Amino acid sequence: MANTGSVRVRLAPSPTGTLHIGTARTAVFNWLFAKRHGGQFLLRIEDTDRERSKPEFTANILEGLQWLGLAWDGEPVVQSERIGAHRAAIGQLLASGHAYRCYASEVELQEMRERQAAENKPPRYDNRHRDLSAAQEQAYIDEGRQATVRFRIDDGASIGWIDLVRGQMRWVGADLGGDMVIARRAPAATIGDPLYNLVVVVDDAAMAISHVIRGEDHIANTAKQILLYEALGLAMPVFAHTPLILNKEGKKLSKRDGVTSVADFRAQGYGAAALANYMTLLGWSPPEGMGERFSLAEAAAVFDFDRVNKAGARFDWDKLNWLNGQVLHDLGPGQLLEQLRPLWAGEGWLDQANEANEDELWRESLCALIGPSLVTLRDGIDQALPFFRRPELSEAALVQLQAPGARAALQALLELLVEGPLTLEQAQDLLAQAVVAAGVKKGVLMKTLRAALLGSLQGPDLLSSWLLLQPSGEAAARIRRSL
Ligand code: GLU
């Protein structure tokens, strides 16, 4: 029976790695659905794989979710602390006959799988210890064998659910690989470490989760979990399986694709708002008229699973870059400065001892100059560099500095140049005078001045760049260097 009442969803990350973009996207859909329905978004840390789970991964996951603006409700549930409840459920399944102990050794199971492979059959447990007599069981125990606990999956079992994304789903027991291990091998009469499908069901039920929203790679698990809900007599949540994120080649996005962890995106200069916006578009189509740029709150006001696609969502860097640029371009110079300040400080460009007001105004002017061409925040390092450090001259700049009229033009400008800041009008006036004095075309002077000041023929607006380099005497120094 489906859970009624208020919406309670959860993200259940395993702290065996950093926060992956796929998990983060699952978090986004859960969060949006919870907000849409005034429900709760809960967090459960699935740390039962003791060897691979690490506290630093938990910290990375929590920090990443916070950074993205995906606040969760209440304290995270730590799965390993609930092992008593998991063992109790396994005990209940053993007592009710839904589960049994399997004494088959690793070697025997390996032989079984090799035989299946030789016969071109899919690997499955052949349920060989399902109906051991008490005497057979005792014989294995006397041999000193350990046992796993397996949950019975009858071949004829028929499993169905209405998936919020994929509609009517149907599975038969025969396709689920035979009786499933729910507790690892342990000495006879004890219960070993409980395994994923069992613990997820027990915990989702205990947390009164109404909707399980997770990636479609869990569909077969869902079929198995439904059988566990039934056997344990627990209320069943509604399921929604979201499409996978695919790389350029149409394969599941993996670590091999390079940047896949939220922390990597952040380090590359992507902002939380743009990344959250982009992840929402990975598999969800906003309603007509909404456009592709929105906040999480705006998406939450209209989010539903009818607009989640069944097909995999291809990761599109161009769109992410576009969104990120849009967010940066909308910032005022002061806001952009606050975002760039830590990066510039990291480069050693901010002189703490000299926090004069003019410096702040100068930095804001620099932000106003470079802001419109930023795609990522890190571009704000590359593009600000020539204003903090005297750049090398590029090949093209060197060629320009030797072009006919170039030297005369710079010479004329240098002679006219006075110390201290300039206004835009004064700078334009000086250029006009220098053009006349040197007898060159204005274009020649402009191009040469750009080469001299910025060391390159590309870059931001020339006059604004000059005005920024003027007060410190750096403009004159760079012109002199070029001569
Ligand atoms: N720990 C599982 C994972 O990270 C959770 C899957 C689920 O949501 O049930 O894939």
Q: CA 136 to CA 147: how far, in whole Å?
A: 13
Q: CA 179 to CA 175: how far, in whole Å?
A: 11
Residue with tokens 């059988």: 227
Please give the pLDDT value at position 5: 60
Q: CA 182 to CA 192: how far, in whole Å?
A: 9
Q: What are the helix and strand counts (H, E) for the chain?
A: 21, 12
In the reported structure, the alpha carbon of residue 14 is separated from the centroid of ligand 1 by a whole-number distance in angstroms of: 7
In the reported structure, the alpha carbon of residue 344 is separated from the centroid of ligand 1 by a whole-number distance in angstroms of: 39
- CATH no. of 83-197: 3.90.800.10
Please say whether the beta carbons of 226 and 199 come within 8 A.
no
Kindly list the averaged pLDDT for each block of 10 residues, start to end, along the chain of length 483. 72 97 97 98 96 97 98 98 98 98 97 97 96 97 97 97 98 97 94 97 98 97 98 98 93 85 95 98 96 97 96 95 97 97 94 69 97 97 96 96 96 95 96 96 96 96 97 96 93
Of 65, 200, 203, 241, best ligand 1 pocket probe by most atoms within 8 Å of the beta carbon: 200
Burial of 438 (0-12, 13-18, 19+ CB in 10 A): buried
Decide which of 3.30.70, 2.60.40, 3.40.50, 1.10.8 is the CATH code for 331-388. 1.10.8
| Secondary-structure class of domain 1-75+243-330 per CATH | alpha beta
Question: With a 6 A CB cut-off, is 12 part of the ligand 1 pocket?
Answer: yes
Burial of 287 (0-12, 13-18, 19+ CB in 10 A): exposed
**C-beta atoms surrounding 141 within 10 Å:** 16
Q: Measuring CA to CA, which residue among 335, 391, 409, 396 is closest to residue 367?
A: 335
Domain ranges within the chain, ordered by starting residue: 1-75+243-330, 83-197, 331-388, 395-482
Please give the pLDDT value at position 2: 44
pLDDT in tens, 53-111: 999 999 999 999 999 999 999 999 999 999 999 999 999 999 999 999 999 999 999 99
Decide which of 3.30.420.10, 3.40.605.10, 1.10.10.350, 3.40.50.300 is the CATH code for 395-482. 1.10.10.350
